[in-house]
Structure 1
Amino acid sequence: MSKPDVVLLSGGNPQIPLGYGEAVVESYLAAMPGWKERVGRQVDAVISRTVPDVLKAVKWNTPMYGMTEHHYFLGFHCFTKYVKVSFNRGAELDPLPPGTSKQKLVRYLDIYEDAALDEAQFADWVMQASLLPGEKL
């Protein structure tokens, strides 16, 4: 199956116009290059199973997930060697996601091609994050 005709930005991140809902996130997932599409679909599936009422959007070429309109608890982005999941209030999760940020509350999870996602831990972080106030973005 061929990829949609989408510009890939630095690191292979798809350039997807601002939009809201399942369809725009699906456009992003379909445009993710190579192994990153598998990771993106896995991340999206865990979020959707864990928080069935999650609201989805693409802003700044990044899929975003929240519980109330324009307030998001998580997003992810393609980089050359990994997919970076950003927990907007990750410093409030237990245990802490491993990646630190210059922003006080943000924590990251970097998922590499050959690394398996611990779905149970990720789902736990997603559930915890979904219960926190989302960041207005």
Structure 2
Amino acid sequence: MVQTTSRRPAKAAKKAAAKRPAATKPTLLSGGNPQIAKGYGDAPVQAYIAAMPGWKRDIGRHLDALIVRTVPGVHKAVKWNSPFYGVEEGSWFLSFHCFTKYVKVTFFRGTSLHPLPSGESKHKEVRYLDIHEDDLDEAQFVDWVKQASQLPGEPL
């Protein structure tokens, strides 16, 4: 009886493995911001968060969880290498972005929030919140998310 199973020699298997592309790390842009393809839904946002470097990844997960808990059914997207959140797709109330030493949250109608988020913008209605490692005021953030989600969204 002739055996028909073939075995590749170990050397040939090693060569084949060496030719396969290695799992690549996501590209990080200036300030450590992940480069993630534009996309709608939870998957691209989770890919962005997974690619956030170091302690910022934990902040990203925490922000995402707080937003989802505060605004059930929130719509998500990644645009311009940043996660966006809206009450309806195409109309956004919040985004965040990685920088070297902090994560910047953008409230598109931030001048309507009380109290005002601390970061001013050259855009009339936009306000920013810069989150450094271990300095998120969760209760205030949740309050702003709740307020922001009830305002007209920004069509971006």
TM bracket (short chain): over 0.9
Alpha-carbon contact 1:4-1:30 (below 8 Å) kept: no
Identical counterparts, % of pairs: 67
Report deviation, 1:136: 0.6
Alpha-carbon contact 1:22-1:57 (below 8 Å) kept: yes
Note the residue ranges of structure 2 that are not aligned, 5 or more in a row. Answer: 1-22
What secondary structure does 2:73 align onto? coil
Alpha-carbon contact 2:76-2:89 (below 8 Å) kept: no
TM-score under structure 1 length normalisation: 0.95
| Root mean square deviation of aligned Cα | 1.2
- Which of these residues, 11, 27, 36, is aligned with residue 31 of structure 2? 11
TM-score under structure 2 length normalisation: 0.83
Report deviation, 1:68: 1.3
Larger Rg: 2
Counterpart Cα distance in 1 of 2:77 and 2:24: 19
Q: Which has the higher contact order (CA 8 A, sep 6+)?
A: 1
Aligned pairs, number: 134
What secondary structure does 1:26 align onto? helix
Report deviation, 1:53: 1.2
Note the residue ranges of structure 1 that are not aligned, 5 or more in a row. Answer: none
Tell me what 2:80 maps to: 60
> What one-letter code is carried by the residue in structure 2 that aligns with 1:109?
L
Aligned: 1:74 with 2:90: no
